Structure 1
Amino acid sequence: MAWLLCFMWLTGCASRGTVPSGPSPATALDSFAEQYVKLVLALGQHDPALVDAYHGPQRWADEAKHASVPLAEVGAHARALHALIESSPVPADPLVAMRRTFLLRQVGAMDARARLLQGEKLSFDEESEALYNARAPTHTEAEFARTLAELEQLLPGQGTLAERLEVFHQGFVIPPEKLRVVFQTAIDEARRRTKQHIPLPDDEAVTLEFVTGQSWGAYNWYKGHNQSVVQINTDLPITISRAIEVGAHESYPGHHVYNVLLEQHLVRERGWVEFTIYPLYSPQSLISEGSATYGPRVVFPDEAAYLREVLFPLAGLPPDRVEPYLRVEALLKKLSYVDNEAARRFLDGRFTREQASDYLIRYRLLTRPQVEKFLLNVTEERTYLINYNLGRDLVADFIERRGGTKDNPNRGWELLRELLSSPRLPGDLIDQHP
């Protein structure tokens, strides 16, 4: 009887009865959406990091905690709900059809996450496909070596390339006493520029905090009602480009704007309750992280000038060093897929921890402390890292193929706003390919 009551709460049967036969597509999707939210809340009782944001009915969160549905039963409900959505008719309205696909993919990811929590083993690529609806391409050491050769030309001197890079970066570290003013200035400017292209509610705001002891470098905690808290981890030295990355990625037009627009356009205007919750290990994360990682390119196309004229002087750094700094940073971004290769081999058991460390030092040029942070994060978040580089590339392709190029920045903003206000998922981006 206890299990039956839990299942009735999870499906919403206790308050509404079972979904009647032949409901309208909108009615069926609304029912599926409520079940999906309750499913994520139930799974979150077994997976504390899963629910990244929730601003739906507090009663549902309280009921999930009280019901404490066993993990195997949460997984069984995920599979049942997935089958229901899959058998439902595809709505004629393209946006509503996109909503149906969103629910289908998100519920499928919850099923996969439940199975993983119960001990099922998947390869790196199988797991990323199951959770994020995407697989990262493979890259060879030869590709990375070509980029490293270019860096060798920019960073001559004694010692290994990783050691020379560390010395180079020391010249661009933001002094601790300047962190708040530099980051807040970048966030404020990103906000000003974003609001010129994307209407935002008058009450939206980002609160900046500095923390320690985290595996990540920065994080956006969306609180609902157009409010975010952005935290910066100060465990390791922070170089100046991170200010622009955080200003754009975590705030404007990144995570904060994405969550604000979903709440405004899909929750408040359409009543789509599925967007009151954000499960971290789901296809939605590829859109969230991909668009946020793409954000600096959109909001700071004049990055060199802005650094030279504003942020470098503010941080007490030499403005005449902006160009060489950005040339090095551009090459380092090309090495981001080293992260995927190291994680893939480490998690698949083809690399020991020491081999992964050596690989990251050799091809990613990380310091030992950075390697430890990386491996801690990968151990906790596993395949999540593909959402950054692969997500960025898919978002860039989606926008640029549709005309949002450097020569037409207004079109780029228009497409980004459309993406951030819709239930699109990775498949919708990939389908843009001929």
Structure 2
Amino acid sequence: MKIRNIVSTAALAAALMLGSTAAAQPARTASSELLDRVAEDFVRMTLEAGEREPGYVDAYYGPVHLMDTAKAAPRPVSVLRKEADRLMTLVVAAKDKQLSPDERRRKLFLKGQIKAAQTRLAMIAGDKFSFEDEAQGLFGVRPVIKPLKSYDPILARIDKLVPGKGDLAARVDAFQNRYVIPTDKVEAVMQAGIAACKAKTEEHIKLPASERFDLEFVTKKPWSGYNWYKGDAHSLIQINTDLPIYISRALDLGCHEGYPGHHVLNTLLEEKLTKGKGWVEFSVYPLFSPQSFIAEGSANFGIELAFPGKAKTDFERDKLYPLAGLDPKTAEAYGALQDAKAALSSSGNTIAALYLSGKMTKEQAVQALMKYTLYSRGGAEKRVSFIETYRSYVINYNIGQDMVRDYVYRAGKTQDARWKAMERVISEPTVPADLRK
């Protein structure tokens, strides 16, 4: 996950000003210039929307004067909705035949971001959407909501993996509690996990020499981890310690929030698009947009890409278990449970849809999450809090991961081919429809 308005240095802001030139720009056409104008107005609108809804803007590292103006005089939501409609009309008017292939992708990206703004601004104004319509409007993908009973066979398989009798969720909770990282060892284990994820990523993707992150532990958040991108290839990665942190989370969070996840995606977009092409729209990240579908999906798949097959369990057993003071001989049993639980991920979409539509009470949602995602009660309550805050955002993790995986795997069977495909996803103006090609 991610969220905050962040402004970078004046040097970067100056480089993004309209009229600045990136190296070797193609010939400009009326439609190219139209996209430039739409992009800057999109940034203005997004920053002002961020003043109307806390959390709307996940990160910003563009021109300082645009942020200053948004803070000083944000337009009312009713006016911002009209502005989003105006920008959609303009971006559609850009003629494809006047645009380079890269610019046509830029146009599609802007259309998706503006459609998301139209949807979110309507929600802020009080309009109601079904779960599916909301997800499609915000993230560019219409989720298929499966009935909860379709996950029962998966639960039956997991039941055979967990020792003991009685309630499965309680047994899973008791089993997993053997794998909690002791509080005094969390930082060392997390740092080791992130370092391993970075090393795997740097074998395949060249990162700026200046890229870096800070690690911070926090409490009282609805998420387990968050990347706050600050610009200039710098991230703040926060880990929530409200609940116990299991040994599997070290690589999960290290890859998801860091490498090749959110930190790498934002770093590459800044380097290649914001600075490289002068596309100012990439300097702002509206959380409720197709950009998040790509970000969360690629970050989740990045774990599997960096540590395919048994590699994750093997690394945890050999490197992280000793650091955490856990018994390495039990790593395979825990890894098998985590792999089996992954098949339950999309059940959370069904529970979120039912809860947000009023077809489940809060307690029923907690109970359903305990049964179908095998959370502890505390974990289920935390997840409901996440659903209440981010709503249909939940689809980005599982549907996004599945679509990124399918796209990357179609690129070939070698790790080199798959990493090259992943780099395309996280460094280009990728939209969800691109993942189906």
TM-score scaled to structure 1, two decimals? 0.92
Number of corresponding residues: 409
1-side partners of 2:104 and 2:48: how far apart? 26
Q: Which amino acid aligns with 1:370?
A: G
Tell whether 2:264 aligns with 1:257.
Answer: yes
Indicate whether 1:360 and 2:375 are aligned: no
Question: What is the aligned-residue identity percentage?
Answer: 40
Q: Which residue pairs with 1:325 in the alignment?
A: 334
Shift of 1:354: 2.1
C-alpha distance in 2 between matches for 1:84 and 1:38 = 15
After TM superposition, give the deviation of residue 207 of structure 1 in Å. 0.8
1:98 matched to 2:105? The reply is yes
Assess if the C-alpha contact under 8 Å between 2:31 and 2:99 holds in 1.
no
TM-superposed CA distance for 1:428, in Å, is 1.4
The answer for the alignment partner of 1:286 in structure 2 is 293
State the alpha-carbon separation in 1 of the partners of residues 116 and 299 from structure 2: 21
- Contact map agreement 2:81 2:122 (CA 8 A) in 1: yes
1:52 aligns with 2:61: no
Tell me, what secondary structure is at the counterpart of 1:220?
strand
Query: CA offset at residue 28 of structure 1?
Result: 1.2
Within 5 Å, which residues of 2 pair with 1:360-399?
Answer: 360-399=369-408
Moved more, 304-313 or 253-262: 304-313
Q: Does 1:346 align with 2:352?
A: no
Match of 2:129 in 1: 122
Match status 1:306 vs 2:319 = no
User: Which shifted more, 148-157 or 54-63?
Assistant: 148-157
Q: Describe how 1:141-220 pairs up with structure 2 within 5 A.
A: 141-220=148-227
What displacement does 1:54 show? 0.3
Instruction: Name 1:37's counterpart in structure 2.
Output: 43
Indicate the larger mover: 251-260 or 80-89: 80-89
Uncovered stretches (5+) of structure 1, i.e. residues with no partner? 1-14, 17-21
C-alpha deviations, 1:273-301, integer Å up to 9, x for none?
01101000001100000000000111122
Distance 1:228 1:132 in 2: 24
Pair 1:273 & 2:280 matched? yes
Output one character per residue of 1:13-65: Cα deviation in whole Å (capped at 9) or x when no partner: xx99xxxxx96222111111101111100111111101111000111001011
Letter in 2 for 1:181: A
| d(CA) in 2 for partners of 1:118, 1:273 | 27
Secondary structure at the aligned position of 1:95 is classed as helix
The amino acid of 2:169's aligned partner reads A
Shift of the alpha carbon at 1:93? Answer: 2.2
Moved more, 219-228 or 305-314: 305-314
Distance in 2 between the 1:99 and 1:272 partners? Answer: 9
- C-alpha distance in 2, partners of 1:381/1:357? 16
Partner of 1:108: 115
Q: Per-residue displacement from partner, 1:323-360 (whole Å, max 9, x unpaired)?
A: 11111001111111111000001111111212212211
Q: What SS does the corresponding residue of 1:137 show, helix, strand or coil?
A: coil
**Displaced runs of 4 or more, over 6 A:** none
Are 2:32 and 2:94, in contact at CA under 8 Å, matched by a contact in 1?
no
Give me the whole-angstrom Cα distance separating, in 2, the residues matched to 1:162 and 1:269: 50
Distance 1:374 1:231 in 2: 17
Residue aligned with 1:45, SS = helix
How far the C-alpha of 1:92 sits from its partner, in A, is: 4.4
Alignment partners' CA distance in 2, 1:306 and 1:164: 26
Whole-Å Cα distance in 1 between the matches of residues 305 and 218 of structure 2?
Answer: 28
